[in-house]
Amino acid sequence: MSCLSISDNVDHTIVEFSMMDSLHPISHQQAEPRSDGKSRFERQKFKIRLASNQERRQSAVFLVEKMYSWRGYKTSTIAAKPGEDVARIALMVYGQDNRPIGTLTVGFDNPNGLLADELYREELDGMRQQGCRLLEFTKLAIDRNSNNSNRIVAALTNVAYLYGKLSNCNTAVIEVNPRHVAFYQSKLGFRQVGPEKICPRVNAPAILLALDWSIMADEIKKYGGRKDDGTAGKSLYRYFFDERDEAGLTKRLVGGKIE
């Protein structure tokens, strides 16, 4: 599998977005939008950055533990020391006053396997044998005081999708509570690939879902950058970047070469 080399510039912003805009790479200064009746919240800028230093990793851990404990899930110490877990990266969304409001960890398949292998080794090995190059979404947490969690989930998933492409992945997997299965199926196109089991990491039931990169690519082509397209239904892909912007955004993800 390809190895992704990530920029060591921990202060850079990968993308910024507002609730009224689609995602766009930060490549130049943006002009202030003209007044058109949009609320201050809709105009507020949000930024996605890597949790690539200790302070940001601790912020990601705190947000995950806060939101998991609020839902009654078991929490544990999940912060990795620098260099300890090179097969995973954590993304952070920052809102007003640089406050962390969302996080998602992206895990790349490797000889040590994925976290989901603990419960779903048989299913994942079957997928691997069929040619699936796996990427895992874990530790997704959105501050429950955020006004548009769907928009934040879309932004994090959008960036994770690009990291997956750069790493030659073609399938994302995620373990979710059964209550959330319908959300991932209707809004992102995931399919169920594993039965309900109890996940010991959070002491709660889980179901394994998967999403093919080809499906994401098709949905982005249809709806990316078209947040007001009524034909998108419940799809979160309307909040994704326009596929024409992919090259510019991809440049911000990599600090070295892809090998």
- Per-residue pLDDT, 170: 96
One-letter amino acid identity for 9?
A: N
**Who has greater pLDDT, 100 or 79?**
100
- Per-residue pLDDT, 234: 87
Rounded-to-integer distance, Cα 188 and Cα 72, Å: 25
Q: Which of 74, 137, 71, 140 is nearest to 102 (CA)?
A: 140
**Mean pLDDT for the chain?**
75
Of the pLDDT bands very low, low, confident and very high (cuts 50, 70, 90), residue 86 is: low
Q: Count how many residues are written for the chain.
A: 259
- Phi first, then psi, for residue 146 (nearest 5°) are -70, 145
210, pLDDT greater than 90: yes
Of the pLDDT bands very low, low, confident and very high (cuts 50, 70, 90), residue 76 is: low
Instruction: Return the half-sphere exposure (C-beta side, CA atoms, 13 A cut-off) of residue 56.
Output: 21
Rounded-to-integer distance, Cα 164 and Cα 168, Å: 6
Between 3.40.250.10, 3.40.1390.10, 3.40.630.30, 3.30.530.20, what CATH number should domain 15-251 receive? 3.40.630.30
- Phi first, then psi, for residue 150 (nearest 5°) are -60, -40
Antiparallel, parallel or unpaired: β 46-50 and 24-25: unpaired
- Per-residue pLDDT, 191: 98
